[in-house]
């Protein structure tokens, strides 16, 4: 019995810590982009380092969670889905890290007039993922509240899509002074920010199905 | 010689262990909540305890239905029931050990000219019908309570699952105990009136003649659980209906309660003291009760596609199993008596007690059975201790290897 309790407590703590890492990663990403747009490269590199640490810790936790679930036969009926959910959340923090790395390596030249568009896109895309966090936590404690919590994820994802499209339109139709390579690079960077909300939506779809199944 | 007569009962016990006992831990093992090893050990130990401590209640009811008063008769009755179960399983026809043995006893009554106690028969048949119905009602009530508790308590899913896992072990143990108490009569009930063994003093407690017979039956059931039930346990979850872990717990609990109710003399006495009618001590079919429990949960969940074939199968088993078993017993008794010249029992005369007509040689042999049981128990104790030590050693080795491989992985990654 003591073995059950210890394993259970450890696993709950690890899942919570993993979700915390993703949550903090999103905050750091937002601040990192703002620092990049403000040309504060010291702050940007600090945020990049922080995201790197969070991603490594999330990877380790993911492996430990999956190992413990298998060896102690925890949640045998939901194990595959919980593992998938953790995978999807890990994809988000992986994408955060790779996006910030792209900014660091490619140093995109973002025109000051687009700063507000980029900040708005980052905030909306991150908000979609942030709204996923309480829903993911709720799956374990109050599964009947998951679906209502996920509504905001879908809302922010569609908003992020709109902002991304508008920004791309401005770049390609209004900013005649930029050459095509520059425009294509900006489009690529926009995609890197926007993808976070897409990943959040993918995880939300999975979580929504999981919530229905557990309530059946 | 006497052990040879018991073989048909022991075989019946083995098949009960391989099939019926699997229902208790089937959903838990099938869904990988509990390992087969743990389930089999718990089921075996608690089945034997239930059989020895509380198994006499239902055995007495079967004795009232027909007191098979010769060892040859007991052997033939159990053999006929075992053959019926084998044949009907072979042809994929619904079967229940309980119904087969009742039919066999009635067959013996007809052959020996003894009247079948109609009140007892009515009681038994009523319990067969009541078993699945009560099981369904219990399952619905318990499932609603569990769902409400789960919603209001807001327990973490993993913690809740660990409670369910612990619950499954406890309820499974209770289920195995109740099954032992209720169903051992099917296996050994027919031998009890024909056997009179010396009391077996084991130091801490003494086993009466009935308890020794029930213990032997319990050991046969345990052998069935340990050797063959894994196959049934692995598939049972998906065979009847895909059950969630909490529904599996409720199904086992409801089934255990039904079996316990129909085998607890203490509970029956409480009813009488409260001015209520006594609960009949009747062996009920565990497989039919479990189907009742699962259907109950299905009904509550609003399942549209209730499989009426399962209900038809239960109804069919109520009629077909006793009839086939009864007919087979009648013919087997005829052969045993006329061809092998075996004493299969006689008409019971006189109101007080059963004048048991025993063969002299068999009476002498019976004193050896207690000695054999003593050696079996000693052997089991030694074997159990060694197996337990070996298990803990292997588990600790496995855990250390796992830890080492994990450390190596992270070291190499760095």
User: Which among B156, B158, B245 is the nearest to A77, CB-wise?
Assistant: B245
Percent of chain B residues past pLDDT 70, beyond the cut: 86
Answer whether A12 sits within 8 Å of B159, measured CB to CB.
yes
Instruction: Give the integer Cα–Cα distance in Å for A152 and A148.
Output: 8
**pLDDT tier for residue B343 given thresholds of 50, 70 and 90:** confident
B155 touches chain A (CB under 8 A): yes
Instruction: Please check the confidence at residue A45 and state whether its pLDDT lies above 50.
Output: yes
- ipTM for the predicted complex: 0.80
A2 touches chain B (CB under 8 A): no
Instruction: Please check the confidence at residue B231 and state whether its pLDDT lies above 90.
Output: no
Task: Find chain B residues with C-beta within 8 A of A1's C-beta.
Answer: 166
Task: Find chain B residues with C-beta within 8 A of A216's C-beta.
Answer: 244, 301
Answer whether B162 sits within 8 Å of A78, measured CB to CB.
no
Q: What are phi and psi of A176, to 5 degrees?
A: -65, -25
Helix (H, G, I), strand (E, B) or coil at B206: strand
Q: What is the pLDDT of residue B354?
A: 46
Residue with tokens 């017979």, as numbered in its chain: B213
Answer whether B245 sits within 8 Å of A76, measured CB to CB.
yes
Residues in a beta bridge with B206: B201
- Take residue B230 and report the two structure tokens written for it: 């894994």
Compare all CA atoms of chain A with the CA of B156 and give the residue at the minimum distance. Answer: A141
A77 touches chain B (CB under 8 A): yes
**Are the beta carbons of A85 and A211 closer than 8 angstroms?**
no
A143 DSSP assignment: G
Task: Find chain A residues with C-beta within 8 A of B406's C-beta.
Answer: 67
Q: What is the pLDDT of residue A44?
A: 94
Q: What is the pLDDT of residue A87?
A: 95
Cβ neighbourhood burial of A21 (10 Å; 0-12, 13-18, 19+): buried
Q: What is the mean pLDDT of chain B?
A: 80
User: Which among A8, A60, A77 is the nearest to B159, CB-wise?
Assistant: A8
**pLDDT tier for residue B2 given thresholds of 50, 70 and 90:** low
Q: Which residue has the higher pLDDT, B63 or A60?
A: A60
Instruction: Please check the confidence at residue B369 and state whether its pLDDT lies above 80.
Output: no
Percent of chain B residues past pLDDT 90, beyond the cut: 6
CA distance A77 to chain B (A): 7
Q: Around Cβ A59, how many Cβ atoms within 10 Å?
A: 16
Q: Which residue has the higher pLDDT, B413 or A73?
A: A73
Instruction: Please check the confidence at residue A122 and state whether its pLDDT lies above 60.
Output: yes
Instruction: Give the integer Cα–Cα distance in Å for B6 and B343.
Output: 15
CA distance A175 to chain B (A): 47
Specify the range with the lowest mean pLDDT, choosing from B11-20, B81-90, B239-248, B360-369. B360-369
Reported as a single tens digit per residue, the pLDDT across A67-86 is 888 888 788 888 899 999 99
Reported as a single tens digit per residue, the pLDDT across B85-119 is 877 777 766 677 888 888 888 898 888 888 888 88
Helix (H, G, I), strand (E, B) or coil at B196: coil
Specify the range with the lowest mean pLDDT, choosing from B29-38, B45-54, B244-253, B299-308. B299-308
Compare all CA atoms of chain B with the CA of A67 and give the residue at the minimum distance. Answer: B406
Instruction: Please check the confidence at residue B302 and state whether its pLDDT lies above 70.
Output: yes
Q: What are phi and psi of A42, to 5 degrees?
A: -60, -50
Compare all CA atoms of chain B with the CA of A65 and give the residue at the minimum distance. Answer: B158
């Amino acid at each position: 019995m003591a073995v059950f309790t210890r394993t259970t407590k450890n696993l709950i703590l690890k899942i919570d810590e993993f979700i915390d890492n993703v949550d903090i990663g999103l905050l750091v990403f937002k601040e990192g982009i703002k620092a990049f747009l403000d040309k504060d490269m010291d702050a940007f590199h600090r945020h990049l380092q922080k995201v790197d640490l969070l991603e490594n810790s999330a990877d380790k936790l993911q492996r430990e969670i999956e190992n413990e679930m298998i060896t102690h036969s925890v949640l045998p009926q939901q194990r595959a889905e919980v593992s998938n959910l953790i995978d999807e959340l890990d994809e988000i923090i992986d994408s955060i890290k790779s996006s910030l790395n792209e900014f660091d390596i490619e140093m995109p030249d973002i025109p000051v007039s687009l700063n507000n568009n980029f900040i708005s896109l980052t905030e909306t895309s991150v908000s979609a993922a942030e709204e996923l966090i309480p829903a993911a936590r709720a799956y374990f404690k109050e599964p009947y509240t998951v679906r209502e919590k996920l509504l905001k994820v879908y809302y922010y994802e569609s908003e992020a899509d709109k902002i991304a499209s508008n920004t791309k339109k401005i770049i390609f139709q209004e900013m005649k002074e930029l050459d095509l390579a520059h425009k294509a690079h900006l489009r690529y960077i926009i995609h890197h920010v926007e993808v976070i909300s897409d990943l959040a939506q993918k995880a939300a779809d999975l979580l929504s199905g999981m919530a229905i199944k557990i309530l059946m | 010689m006497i052990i040879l007569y018991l073989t048909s009962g022991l075989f019946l016990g083995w098949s009960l262990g391989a099939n019926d006992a699997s229902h208790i831990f089937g959903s838990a093992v099938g869904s990988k909540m509990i390992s087969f090893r743990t389930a089999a050990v718990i089921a075996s130990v608690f089945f034997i305890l239930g059989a020895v401590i509380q198994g006499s209640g239902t055995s007495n009811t079967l004795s009232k239905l027909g007191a098979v008063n010769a060892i040859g008769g007991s052997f033939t009755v159990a053999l006929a029931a075992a053959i019926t179960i084998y044949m009907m399983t072979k042809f994929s026809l619904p079967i229940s050990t309980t119904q087969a043995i009742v039919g066999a006893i009635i067959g013996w009554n007809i052959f020996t000219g003894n009247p079948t106690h109609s009140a007892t028969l009515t009681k038994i048949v009523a319990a067969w019908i009541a078993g699945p119905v009560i099981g369904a009602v219990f399952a619905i009530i318990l499932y609603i309570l569990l769902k409400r508790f789960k919603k209001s308590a807001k327990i973490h899913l993993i913690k809740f699952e660990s409670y369910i896992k612990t619950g499954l072990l406890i309820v499974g143990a209770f289920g195995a105990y109740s099954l032992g108490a209720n169903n051992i009569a099917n296996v050994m009930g027919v031998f009890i009136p024909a056997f009179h063994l010396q009391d077996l003093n084991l130091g801490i407690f003494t086993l009466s003649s009935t308890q020794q017979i029930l213990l032997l039956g319990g050991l046969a059931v345990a052998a069935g659980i340990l050797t063959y039930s894994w196959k049934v346990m692995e598939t049972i979850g998906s065979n009847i209906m895909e059950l969630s872990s909490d529904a599996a717990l409720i199904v086992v609990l409801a089934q255990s309660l039904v079996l316990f109710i129909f085998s607890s003399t203490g509970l029956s006495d409480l009813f009488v003291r409260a001015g209520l009618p006594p609960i009949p001590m009747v062996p009920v079919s565990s497989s039919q009760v479990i189907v009742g429990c699962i259907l109950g949960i299905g009904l509550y969940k609003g399942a549209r596609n209730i499989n009426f074939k399962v209900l038809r199968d239960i109804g069919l088993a109520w009629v077909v199993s006793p009839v086939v078993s009864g007919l087979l017993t009648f013919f087997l008794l005829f052969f045993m008596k006329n061809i092998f010249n075996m004493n299969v029992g006689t008409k019971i005369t006189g109101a007080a007690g059963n004048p048991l007509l025993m063969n002299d040689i068999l009476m002498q042999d019976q004193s050896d059975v207690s000695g054999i049981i003593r050696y079996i128990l000693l052997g089991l104790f030694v074997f159990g201790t060694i197996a337990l030590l070996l298990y803990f050693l292997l588990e600790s080795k496995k855990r250390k290897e796992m830890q080492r491989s994990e450390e190596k992985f992270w070291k190499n990654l760095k």
